[in-house]
Amino acid sequence: MSSYNVALNFEDGVTRFVTCKAGEKVLDAAFRAKINLPMDCSDGVCGTCKCRAESGRYDLGDDYIDDALTEDEKDSGLVLTCQMVPQSDCVIAVPASSTVCKTGHSTFAATVTKVEAHNDAAIVLELQVDEAAPVFLPGQYVNIDVPGSGQHRSYSFSSAPGEAAISFLIKKIPGGVMSTWLESAQPGAKVELSGPLGSFYLRAVERPLLFLAGGTGLAPFLSMLEVLARTNSQQKVHLIYGVTRDLDLVQVEAIEAYVARLPNFTYSTVVADAQSGHPRKGWVTQHMPAESVNDGDVDVYLCGPPPMVDAVRQYFDANGIKPNSFHYEKFTPNVVPRAA
Ligand code: FES
């Protein structure tokens, strides 16, 4: 028997990972990690520890009563953490804030290894984490303290979880606090990070995926694609990457590399600028092949600025497109992302 990683996603966007030893219940593993998940009886009677399992395999046993968890609730993915023994890595949504559970996000230090400008539009920031490689779900973000400013900015990982070398794709904003710092940041500089955070992450992959990226909203998809490639996913994945100007189109070579590594991966790029010479102009919704929505049997992930998110939602509504699931993250520079 093995031990498994369990991601606990709290209502306030904080994620903490705990390790369940072989046969160990989630509530006990969390307690060992000094995380007080909601509980009362710890015996399968009260239902206080009810959470939602978002992915993973597990055994609930038969030592709990129907008042605590009905058959219908069980079938819909609800679990009792005082009974739940993981049989794979799992993700659990906890209906309480991290502070109520006497925890918060982790902080960790890292060293700058590379700052690379891409056109005049974006910056790739690579860091080496000083201690243990951060654990996160592909698609999640961290807060990075901007040295000397007393401020932080939020960025999605563009690298895959479990690596000490981590990377971010950062929109270049003239006068922006992070952009300004990065202009002179050198390898060896130290930064502090806290996280992971956010509910925009790749769920269990059970049907075709449609990824819609706006600008540097590409970052979380690079992390997801890397995870899909490492797990030899055979699932259909179509990415549409939309930007405002030609020069905003960065890291296309990184996307292209996944065509060779993922047998059912396709992508296209779209530029909104009417003056662009790009072969596909306009919005991502104007270049969305019917196959990519697969009659609704598709999980859609969307990360981009608020107008793009709103436009895609309106397009889906207007065209009667009802995907199996729709996960989105709105981001604006200097504002913490909001996910749904
Ligand atoms: Fe009472 Fe789990 S704590 S059912």
* Interval 286-316: pLDDT, tens: 999 888 899 999 999 999 999 999 999 999 9
Average pLDDT (126-141) is: 92
CA of residue 3 to ligand 1 center, whole Å: 22
Residue type, 139: G
Instruction: Single out the residue in 93, 126, 151 at which a domain terminates.
Output: 93
Q: pLDDT of 158-204, one tens digit each? A: 999 989 999 999 999 999 999 999 999 999 999 999 989 888 999 98
Ligand 1 atom with least separation from CA of 69:
4
Q: Tell me which residue of 159, 229, 228, 230 sits closest to 193, measured CA to CA.
A: 159
Q: Is the pLDDT of residue 337 over 80?
A: no
Q: pLDDT of 34-60, one tens digit each? A: 999 999 999 999 999 999 999 899 999
Ligand 1: does its nearest atom lie under 6 Å from the Cβ of 42?
Answer: yes
Ligand 1: does its nearest atom lie under 6 Å from the Cβ of 46?
Answer: yes
Sheet holding 165-171, edge to edge: 151-156, 141-146, 190-197, 106-118, 122-129, 165-171
Strand (E) or helix (H) holding 152:
strand 151-156
| Percent of the chain topping pLDDT 90 | 86
Mean pLDDT comparison of 106-110, 219-223, 319-323, 333-337, highest-scoring range? 219-223
Per-residue pLDDT, 330: 86
Per-residue pLDDT, 89: 92
CA of residue 83 to ligand 1 center, whole Å: 8
Q: Does residue 99 lie in a domain region?
A: no
Together in a domain, 155 and 221:
no
Per-residue pLDDT, 134: 87
Q: Does residue 230 lie in a domain region?
A: yes
Q: Are 222 and 169 in contact (CB under 8 A)?
A: yes
CATH of residue 22's domain is 3.10.20.30
Q: Does residue 101 lie in a domain region?
A: no
Together in a domain, 242 and 143:
no
Q: Is the pLDDT of residue 153 over 80?
A: yes
Ligand 1: does its nearest atom lie under 6 Å from the Cβ of 40?
Answer: yes
Together in a domain, 153 and 42:
no
Q: Is the pLDDT of residue 228 over 80?
A: yes
Together in a domain, 287 and 216:
yes
Beta bridge partners of 241: 213, 269
Return the residue whose CA atom lies nearest to atom 4 of ligand 1.
44
- Among 42, 65, 69, 84, the mutation site with the greatest number of ligand 1 atoms within 8 A of its Cβ is 42
Mean pLDDT of the chain: 93
Task: Tell me how far apart the alpha carbons of residues 271 and 248 are, in angstroms, rounded to a whole number.
Answer: 9
The CB density around residue 187, as the number of other CB atoms within 10 Å, is 12
Per-residue pLDDT, 336: 44
Together in a domain, 22 and 110:
no
Q: Does residue 203 lie in a domain region?
A: no
Q: Tell me which residue of 177, 178, 231, 187 sits closest to 209, measured CA to CA.
A: 231
Strand (E) or helix (H) holding 326:
strand 325-330
Instruction: Single out the residue in 197, 229, 264 at which a domain terminates.
Output: 197
Ligand 1 atom with least separation from CA of 42:
3
Q: Does residue 75 lie in a domain region?
A: yes
Q: Does residue 340 lie in a domain region?
A: no
Instruction: Single out the residue in 68, 93, 118 at which a domain terminates.
Output: 93
Task: Tell me how far apart the alpha carbons of residues 245 and 275 are, in angstroms, rounded to a whole number.
Answer: 9
Q: Are 8 and 15 in contact (CB under 8 A)?
A: yes
pTM to 2 decimal places? 0.86
Ligand 1: does its nearest atom lie under 6 Å from the Cβ of 82?
Answer: yes
Q: Tell me which residue of 207, 221, 288, 208 sits closest to 258, measured CA to CA.
A: 221
Together in a domain, 112 and 41:
no
Average pLDDT (278-284) is: 95
Dihedral, 172, 286, 302, 258 alpha carbons, nearest 10: -80
CA of residue 64 to ligand 1 center, whole Å: 8
Q: pLDDT category, 82, cuts 50, 70, 90?
A: very high
Q: pLDDT category, 333, cuts 50, 70, 90?
A: low
Per-residue pLDDT, 136: 92
CATH of residue 238's domain is 3.40.50.80
Per-residue pLDDT, 106: 83
Together in a domain, 308 and 227:
yes
Q: Does residue 339 lie in a domain region?
A: no
Q: pLDDT category, 1, cuts 50, 70, 90?
A: low
Together in a domain, 188 and 144:
yes
Together in a domain, 222 and 301:
yes
Query: Which range of residues forms the domain containing residue 248?
Result: 209-330
Token pair, residue 162, equals: 């479990």
Ligand 1: does its nearest atom lie under 6 Å from the Cβ of 294?
Answer: no
The total number of residues shown for the chain amounts to 340
Ligand 1: does its nearest atom lie under 6 Å from the Cβ of 112?
Answer: no
Q: How many domains does the chain have?
A: 3
Together in a domain, 155 and 219:
no
Q: pLDDT category, 334, cuts 50, 70, 90?
A: low
Q: pLDDT category, 2, cuts 50, 70, 90?
A: confident
Q: Is the pLDDT of residue 339 over 70?
A: no
Together in a domain, 242 and 326:
yes
Q: Does residue 181 lie in a domain region?
A: yes
Ligand 1: does its nearest atom lie under 6 Å from the Cβ of 47?
Answer: yes
Ligand 1 atom with least separation from CA of 40:
3
Together in a domain, 73 and 156:
no
Alpha-carbon 55 to chain mean position: 14
Dihedral, 229, 207, 213, 91 alpha carbons, nearest 10: -80
Q: pLDDT category, 87, cuts 50, 70, 90?
A: very high
Ligand 1: does its nearest atom lie under 6 Å from the Cβ of 69?
Answer: no
